[in-house]
Structure 1
């Protein structure tokens, strides 16, 4: 009598596929999940309100002159880096090498375009690594020194890696959002 090996072949394929499913699930569960908190909000909220946030930036910039100074590099209220990958930023960004290992200074000034007076700001910023959330720095008004409505903060960066600076600035009822990808050298 001739033996039929086809059932063993199918059992072998089934066993291999089942073991690959188990391995995939086990590998996926062991990888940490880092929730995106762009603009200090959950990604679902950003996704739902992105157009309103960008319109809010336009309104904010129409009413106020905004300047953020990070380690003596002056920047605007920008979200342009949100569409770039980190590799593109490393090669072509004007925001490259803004941060440095050790102490960093951040200064924020908002001036009303009509009255030319400096305004009080409610600041919510996060300086975060692109690969993990264990070194996130939350910078709010409590971490800023207010000297005649020039808000200055010192913060420390310990790792030479890629960083994201994101958050919002609220003046009166107007909110401006920022999103900068950079690296520390």
Structure 2
């Protein structure tokens, strides 16, 4: 009587495929998941309400003059870096090397259109690694001191790498959003 080994072959393939499925699920569970929290919202909310964010920035800028200075480099209230990858930042050199490993100074100037200093803003600023959330540095209004008509703070960047600076500024229902991609060396 001749043996038929085809059923063993199919059992072997099924066992191999099943073990690959189990290995894939096990490997996926072991990798940490980092939720994107740009503008302190879930990415779905940012995606769904991005036009509202830009409109909010326009309304904010119609009421206030805004400048943020990071290590003596001045920036407007801007969110355009959200569309750029880190590789673009490396090649374009527009926002390259803004942060340094160690102490970094942040100065925020907000004036109303009459030229008067505005001093009671709710500020939330986050400096975070761009690829993961292993290092998150949060600054709020209490982290800033109001000196010489400016909000001033320092942030300690612990290691070199690619970083995002995310901030919101709010007063009387007017909210401004800021997003900057850079690196620290």
TM category, shorter: over 0.9
How many residues of Structure 1 are paired with residues of Structure 2 in the alignment? Answer: 184
Which SS does the other structure have where 1:96 is aligned? coil
Q: How does 1:156-175 map to 2 (within 5 A)?
A: 156-175=156-175
Q: How does 1:1-185 map to 2 (within 5 A)?
A: 1-113=1-113, 115-120=114-119, 121-185=121-185
Alpha-carbon RMSD: 1.4
Change over 3 Å in CA distance of 1:98–1:58 after alignment to 2: same
Give ranges in structure 1 of 5+ residues lacking alignment.
none
Within 2, Cα distance between the matches of 1:59 and 1:18? 56
Give ranges in structure 2 of 5+ residues lacking alignment.
none
Within 2, Cα distance between the matches of 1:111 and 1:16? 67
Within 1, Cα distance between the matches of 2:107 and 2:73? 10
Within 2, Cα distance between the matches of 1:34 and 1:93? 27
Within 2, Cα distance between the matches of 1:72 and 1:176? 21
Q: Cα distance, 1:148 vs. partner?
A: 4.4
Segments of 4+ in structure 1 off by > 6 A? none
Q: Cα distance, 1:93 vs. partner?
A: 4.6
Within 2, Cα distance between the matches of 1:24 and 1:184? 35
After superposing the two structures, state which structure 1 stretch, 39-48 or 159-168, moved more: 39-48
After superposing the two structures, state which structure 1 stretch, 64-73 or 170-179, moved more: 170-179
Task: Tell me if structure 2 keeps the 8 A contact 1:40–1:125.
Answer: no
Within 2, Cα distance between the matches of 1:25 and 1:51? 37
Within 2, Cα distance between the matches of 1:170 and 1:109? 13
1:65-107 Cα shifts (integer Å, max 9, x gaps): 1100000000111111111111122112511111001100000
Within 2, Cα distance between the matches of 1:168 and 1:125? 7
Within 2, Cα distance between the matches of 1:100 and 1:47? 31
Q: Cα distance, 1:122 vs. partner?
A: 1.3
Which SS does the other structure have where 2:68 is aligned? strand
